[in-house]
Amino acid sequence: MLVAGVDSSTQSTKVVLCRAEDGAVIGSGSAPHPDGTECDPQAWWDALLIAGRGLLDRADAVGVAAQQHGMVALDDAGAVVRPALLWNDMRSARQAVDLIAELGGPGEWARRTGSVPTASFTVTKLRWLAEREPANAARTSMVVLPHDWLTWRLGSAPAFSPVPGDWPRTRPVTDRGDASGTGYFSPADGTWLPGLAKAALGRDIDLPEVAGPAGAVGQTSWGAVLSAGTGDNMGAALGLGLRDGDVVISIGTSGTAFAVTPAGAADPSGAVAGFADATGRFLPLVCTMNAARVLTITAGLLGVDPDTMSGLALAAQPGAGGLSLLPYLDGERTPNRPDAAGVLSGLTTANFTRQNVARAAVEAVLCGLADAVDHLIAAGLTPRRVLLIGGGARSAAIRAIAPGVFGTEVAVPEPAQYVAIGAARQAAWALAGTSEPPPWPERAATSYQGVPVPQVRERYAALRDATATWQGPRQEGSAP
């Protein structure tokens, strides 16, 4: 049998077709999404039709994993009320501060929802909608997440039709992993907290049903089983087959550090999000806003392609000759500085070279993620090994420099669409109806070692802390 996995990320849709028994990938496709911090969900569907052409209709089961937190507001007829606000939209930063204060403070939020909401979380976007677009808020009767919407449409629409036709005919369904990123769900109890959603929006709204990890939630028009789907980080964890002590560092549009644990996290500092995973366990996670895009923008500034920039970075010495970059180009989530901007520090006539600028960019991304791992350790995690994935992991400079910055050996699994593979594995699980996911083989990984360079992190930390109070705000109410 064949199963299809969908990864609907911020930047694109990827589809893989796998053998259900062993996860071997036999076909794949992709299609881009529009750039920005909000998006009409129809663009995701259009991309899915392109990426899944010749793949989805061959699948016996389909699973969807997608970017977390996005607010898809629906009216009574199931129509989208406004473009979805995405996880990287920072306009609800003030609303996050207000909600934390109104509903008991950081400790109470962590206790009830596993997380302290930032502007990324759906709950803060609901409050922004109520305050800034009251007419749209009044039209909203249900709020779903990106993966919920795509799964719902796959189970409701005529096969591959770009026109809604007679859908929806079913009720949207989500899973506990993606739901745990909304800010109005209890990962510990596996239940919605509708009072928090109501407090944010100012009125009651309907919420999707929450399926179990192995649940089959419907079928497509061509008869394929639909799994519950999940969030992108939960999909990656399932695709990688994480074991206790594995810490994943993913360098994509955002940077994340996460692990699968038997018990949930509740960090009152807000650094660690206490998510659920896609298997019935938990996924404590730390997210940074600025990751692979920092490398792309720096390469553009230097007028080179990514491979050339990687070579420039490797030609410089550790520490970039004294240059330090604080890479908060789009604000930042960890630390929580939605209004922050980037800072390049330590410039002299001697060190202001293309090689050092490239090296400083690579070290900055890695230092931010090393801080993220420290937060997981502070929350009780004991790392056994570090796995480096995501588009940024393809950079030779990232792979070579990471062990020195992290101070440990780093394993880089073979390049693959791990989010989509995780979604496919979930689909195979729903098809099998077993108590555990199918035991797909672990993928080969290459190990990288390096000499620790604690001085790089020390200088980065000094710049991070020194700029905590003086970076200027963006215009209130605007997207970054």
Residues forming the active site: 232
What is the amino acid identity at position 223? G
Spatial neighbors of 99 by CB under 8 A, at least 6 apart, are 117, 123, 124, 127, 183, 199, 200
The DSSP annotation for 109-151 comes to: HHHHHSS---TTSHHHHHHHHHHH-HHHHHH--EEE-HHHHHH
3-class secondary structure, 307 = helix
The residue to which tokens 């849709």 are assigned? 13
In whole angstroms, what is the distance from residue 273 CA to residue 347 CA?
36
In whole angstroms, what is the distance from residue 237 CA to residue 232 CA?
9
What is the amino acid identity at position 20? A
Closest CA to 263 of 272, 275, 271: 275
Q: Which sign, positive or negative, has the C-alpha torsion 23, 29, 32, 38?
A: negative
Spatial neighbors of 313 by CB under 8 A, at least 6 apart, are 355, 358, 359, 361, 362, 397, 401
- If phi > 0 it is left, if psi is from -120 to 50 it is alpha, else beta; for residue 223 that is left
3-class secondary structure, 363 = helix
What is the amino acid identity at position 23? G
In whole angstroms, what is the distance from residue 37 CA to residue 330 CA?
11
